[in-house]
Structures are given as C-alpha cells and as structure tokens.
Structure 1
Amino acid sequence: MDHTNDTHSPETERRLTDLEVKASFTEDLLDQLNQTIFRQQQMIERLARDLAALRDQVPEDSTTFRSLRDELPPHY
C-alpha cells in the first residue's frame, strides 16, 4: 500500500461515501428507536398508574376471583 499518495482512489471514495450514508441512516434509526422506547416507557408508567387506581377501587375483602360467567342469568 502506497502511503505517499494523499488522494484516494474512486473505489475508496465510493466506499467511504457508502459508509457515511450507512452511518447517517444508523444515527436516524437510533434516534427513532430511542423515541419509541421513550414513548413506550411513558405508556408503561401510565398503565401502571391506571392499574394501581383500578386496584384501589376493588374492595379489600374481594380476594376471590369471580368470573363474569358466574353473573350470567340461567338461560344463557
């Protein structure tokens, strides 16, 4: 490899450009993934608050599970 020549071959220039394009797309994808994770974390936190609020609405003495099928009238 000749290190005395500071100019790059057209093939080297093309490969460098390709790598720069890939790096740019990778940065954009990483930003999109970070935004998605942030939104999902917000949703998880909201759902956890909603679940806690629903649990607070359930009377403490109702520890046994009741199926909605148990509530159906006999003719179903």
Structure 2
Amino acid sequence: MSDTHLHALEEKLSHLQRVADELSDIVAGQARDIERLQRRVGLLMEREAEREAEGGGTVPLADQRPPHW
C-alpha cells in the first residue's frame, strides 16, 4: 500500500470519527430533550387529571370514548 493511499485512508477515518462524535453529541442532546419533555407531559397529565377530578361528576377525558364509538 502506498503512502498516498494510506494517507487518504487515515483522512477518511479521521473524518468518520469526527462525524461519529458529532452524531453521538446530537443523540445525547436529543435524549436529554426527550427526558425533559416526558417529565413535562407527565406533570401536565397529572395537573389535568386533578382538574378533571375537581370538576366533579364527569368522566375524566382519558376515560371517555371517542365520539365515533
């Protein structure tokens, strides 16, 4: 294998490593965002359930059948 060919392979490997590192950072950021959003949705669901329970006598929205049933 010539030095030129070896150098080209090293450059490609370096580029691929950089791309893999960037993608890893992106995925880690998305995982943090998903966790944060899941917590927020959970809190909103709890808040809505409490609001519906305080409404008294009505069936909670989550337990209602869709209108097409």
What is the TM-score of this pair, normalised by structure 1? Answer: 0.67
Q: Which runs of 4+ in 1 moved over 3 A?
A: none
How far apart are the structure 1 equivalents of 2:20 and 2:56? 56
* Structure 2 equivalent of residue 11 of structure 1: 8
Structure showing greater relative contact order (alpha-carbon pairs closer than 8 Å, 6 or more residues apart): 2
CA deviation profile, 1:9-66 (whole Å, cap 9, x unmatched): 1110110000000010011011001001100100110001000110011021x67xxx
More helix by share: 2
* Structure 2 equivalent of residue 58 of structure 1: 55
Q: Could you say which structure has the larger radius of gyration?
A: 1
Aligned pair count?
Answer: 57
Over the aligned positions, Cα root-mean-square deviation in angstroms equals: 1.9
Ranges in structure 2 where 5+ consecutive residues have no aligned partner: 60-69
* Structure 2 equivalent of residue 39 of structure 1: 36
